[in-house]
Structure 1
């Protein structure tokens, strides 16, 4: 899927035919994508997929080989300064100074963003620290923060100028489960204000929980975009496993299923039979209906599809082929 367009809402991020080359190496290969305003939109892919190169272009930190990028309608290649007022960028493992306290670090950036009056800066710093649950660390020295705390402080810095588009590269890196939950809440609250959050991770299940929509990249190409379930359907193996828990007559049920369309290997464990099924939802419903019509009694009929981790492993392993 070379282009993703999630909803009919106004477009906050539009990428057209983006390509990034490093010498003979193609990092981003003709990617086109539209992200509506108010989305928490995820970008997932294995290492080397092109995520960071894409984000660096969006953040106006590098020029693409060719292509066009618009943030809130602003052409970032034609008007970088205006684009930088719109965007907030958080790189993976961003450094913080060792000789400043947390509030001093944020106050410095607030001044750089043009929040001129000292009282206004102090209030905005306090708001951003509260947003990332770091108010109790405002007087801590930056060099004494844990990795997860550092990530949260850098996120607070990214929020200072109220960007309409946020580009977050692996923001959950180093966060514990509680902090990741707080991050999800903070990003969703930002989206409710109309801001657009474009966030990357190599953990697909993490993005599936965090984002309203997402896309998958590999080898510089955009493979799929949409909701988490749409991406699962587009990239997951067409095959699925169904486990049937019978009340009785297990052997007869297995004999009846054998040779039916889409039925693959069957494995029995007690009263349960796991079946490899090649087909769509209609074929699965036909199997269920057929068993019931034949009088086979079942306690359950459960489907197992590829997990997000399995999908990403399959995508990553294609790099080796």
Structure 2
């Protein structure tokens, strides 16, 4: 549904995108992960037809963003990280205004307004002025605005930015409903724990380059990095010394009787490390692998790039 090939974008001397290649299957919820300044917003603006790349290609639903920008805008709903609302309009008027911009008027526009407000749980605010809405409500209204022309693809740039915990939960439930409706969604975010609960696919970007992408379960099941917790009967100094000297292992946190560490390698290497720890005199009472997170995978990949 979405693909880019060799995408390059420069801002003066700053290279924002360095040959970016991403692929998003139809119906996927694609988590676009990266630090601030990694190139996420630039990519989404190019896909929305709002920014022209310096080189490379990008297609959305089979439409080229350079050759058919109008066609791209017909199939894309874009929700920027910062957006403006018209404070002197009521919520319902706000949506009718954007419906008219897409040529939707009359009874059709009114029904669409009511359906979208129901979807984002703002039906009770239809006659309220936009500037009286909370931050979370304004975010949901902006999402409704991006859906006004029933796009196949949603590009959401930090949709949970600035929201309180309850508002984030509400936004997540709305996005799940959109998934059930068959929308293809890209979500740019640095709140990785929330993406893990929502996304089917993930792409990780650093300094304008794609680190890795694929189905979420494959990303989390990879053996690039795994985390372990070890607890001992007494001080864990001996275990720490062995781990620090073991190839591919690194201590993350160490307390008096507990060590959290990461390591790469297969089961035999893990068993070898444990044998070495016991051989060094540590009285191990607990040793377990913890669940790998998106944060673990992204941090490891980013470190590998920095070390290159």
TM value normalised by structure 2: 0.82
- The CA distance in 2 between the partners of 1:274 and 1:46, in whole Å, is 28
| Residue-by-residue CA offset, 1:102-139 (whole Å, 9 max, x unaligned) | 100001111212223x2211111111111111111111
- The aligned residue for residue 5 of structure 1 is none
Distance 1:290 1:39, change over 3 A: same
- The aligned residue for residue 161 of structure 2 is 173
1:187 matched to 2:187: no
- The aligned residue for residue 45 of structure 2 is 56
1:302 matched to 2:291: no
- The aligned residue for residue 130 of structure 2 is 142
Cα deviation for residue 179 of structure 1 reads: 2.2
- The aligned residue for residue 209 of structure 1 is 197
- The aligned residue for residue 228 of structure 2 is 241
Distance 1:124 1:26, change over 3 A: same
1:274 matched to 2:259: yes
- The aligned residue for residue 89 of structure 1 is 78
- The CA distance in 2 between the partners of 1:110 and 1:223, in whole Å, is 39
Equivalent position to 2:24, from 28, 32, 35: 35
- The aligned residue for residue 283 of structure 1 is 268
Equivalent position to 2:61, from 65, 69, 72: 72
Q: Decide which moves more: 17-26 or 207-216.
A: 207-216
Tell whether the 8 Å contact from 2:15 to 2:208 is kept in structure 1 after alignment.
yes
Tell whether the 8 Å contact from 1:235 to 1:311 is kept in structure 2 after alignment.
no
TM value normalised by structure 1: 0.78
Q: How many corresponding residue pairs?
A: 297
| Residue-by-residue CA offset, 1:113-167 (whole Å, 9 max, x unaligned) | 2223x22111111111111111111111111222221111000111111100111
Give SS of 2:86's match.
coil
Cα deviation for residue 187 of structure 1 reads: 1.8
Equivalent position to 1:125, from 110, 113, 129: 113
Distance 1:228 1:104, change over 3 A: same
1:21 matched to 2:7: no
Distance 1:101 1:276, change over 3 A: closer
Distance 1:106 1:260, change over 3 A: closer
Give SS of 2:22's match.
strand
- The CA distance in 1 between the partners of 2:102 and 2:189, in whole Å, is 27
Distance 1:28 1:103, change over 3 A: same
Give SS of 2:136's match.
helix
Cα RMSD for the two superposed structures: 3.6
| Residue-by-residue CA offset, 1:60-100 (whole Å, 9 max, x unaligned) | 00110011111111112111111111001111121101110
1:104 matched to 2:93: yes
Cα deviation for residue 177 of structure 1 reads: 2.0
- The CA distance in 2 between the partners of 1:95 and 1:145, in whole Å, is 13
Cα deviation for residue 245 of structure 1 reads: 6.4
Give SS of 2:56's match.
strand
Cα deviation for residue 308 of structure 1 reads: 4.2
- The CA distance in 2 between the partners of 1:163 and 1:169, in whole Å, is 16
